[in-house]
């Protein structure tokens, strides 16, 4: 069975966003995905009003299951719980260290955090504030690991806002790489194994990358998608789900 996944991030929905959302809604309608993933920064300032207005538009225009993670903009007004609740009240599943299954495909999601990649990753040494900063990145990675560990499906898709690999932030100014993601997020992905990872946040990054274990990573930030794929600013991934015996290999097509 083929499950079609659509993914987009960084809608930054605000007062002037109705026209901005139109190409996304049209792309979803044209692509006819079985499930739509929303990869954070769904609102511009993280207000309840923005979340409610966005939810109304999404629910009115999209008739397939929607899964989401929040982004840093969704936290700006210190109303994260209200934003999350508004989305959930509209029927959108918000993942925050959680997992779920849709049509035989498992999904796990967290917001993630920043901190840098590889040898450039910030370590928990020195001032207490630095240790707290690194602790946040570690906690997000642990939440992701826990969510993945609960999945029993052969196909496993990960939702993030922050990038787990440096490959998909290339194109951004190098000095801001540490603010765009953290390689700590990659550790559970490579250890537990995943089919594909989606994230947003890097508006000027690259559309594709890979983990060290070879799993595809897709940057689906709307500004990036609009620039590269203006006619269809939506990443589509077709996943062939193994039958009940689990014998056929998993095939992924993008």
Domain ranges of the chain: 2-253
d(CA 149, CA 194): 11
pLDDT in tens, 93-142: 999 999 999 999 999 999 999 999 998 899 999 999 999 999 999 999 99
d(CA 144, CA 235): 22
What's the pLDDT at 251?
A: 38
d(CA 52, CA 17): 13
Strand 216-219 to 196-199 pairing: parallel
d(CA 45, CA 236): 28
pTM value? Answer: 0.94
What's the pLDDT at 207?
A: 98
d(CA 3, CA 104): 8
d(CA 144, CA 19): 34
Domain 2-253 has CATH 2.30.30.50: no
Structure tokens at 183: 């390689």
What's the pLDDT at 242?
A: 75
What's the pLDDT at 40?
A: 97
> Which positions of the chain have pLDDT values less than 70?
18, 243-254
What's the pLDDT at 22?
A: 86
User: Concatenated DSSP letters for 117-173?
Assistant: SGGGSPPS-SSHHHHHHHHHHHHHHHHHHHHHHT---SSEEEE-SSBSSGGGTBTB-
Angle (CA) 78-81-90 rounded to 5° is 130
124: Cα separation from own chain's centroid? 26
Checking 240-244 for CB contacts under 8 A at 24+ apart, the result is: 240/1, 240/2, 241/1, 241/2, 241/3, 241/103, 241/104, 241/105, 241/153, 241/154, 241/155, 242/154, 242/155, 243/1
d(CA 61, CA 226): 19
């Amino acid at each position: 069975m083929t499950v079609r996944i659509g993914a987009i991030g960084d809608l930054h929905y605000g007062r002037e966003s109705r026209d901005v959302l139109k190409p996304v809604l049209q792309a979803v309608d044209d692509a006819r995905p079985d499930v739509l993933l929303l990869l954070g920064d769904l609102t511009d300032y993280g207000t309840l009003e923005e979340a409610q207005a966005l939810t109304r538009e999404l629910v009115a225009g999209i008739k397939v299951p929607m899964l989401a993670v929040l982004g840093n903009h969704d936290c700006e007004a210190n109303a994260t719980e209200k934003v999350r609740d508004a989305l959930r009240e509209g029927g959108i599943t918000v993942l925050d260290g959680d997992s779920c299954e849709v049509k035989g495909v498992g999904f796990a999601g967290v917001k993630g955090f920043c901190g840098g990649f590889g040898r450039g990753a910030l370590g928990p040494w020195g001032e207490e504030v630095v240790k707290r900063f690194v602790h946040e990145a570690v906690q997000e990675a642990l939440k992701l690991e826990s969510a993945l560990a609960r999945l029993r499906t052969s196909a496993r898709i990960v939702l993030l806002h922050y990038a787990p690999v440096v490959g998909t932030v290339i194109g951004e100014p190098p000095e801001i790489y540490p603010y765009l993601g953290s390689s700590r997020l990659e550790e559970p992905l490579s250890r537990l194994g995943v089919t594909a990872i989606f994230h947003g946040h890097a508006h000027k990054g690259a559309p594709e990358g890979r983990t060290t274990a070879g799993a595809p990573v897709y940057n689906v930030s709307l500004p990036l998608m609009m620039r590269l794929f203006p006619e269809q600013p939506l990443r589509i991934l077709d996943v062939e789900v193994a039958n009940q015996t689990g014998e056929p290999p998993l095939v992924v097509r993008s």
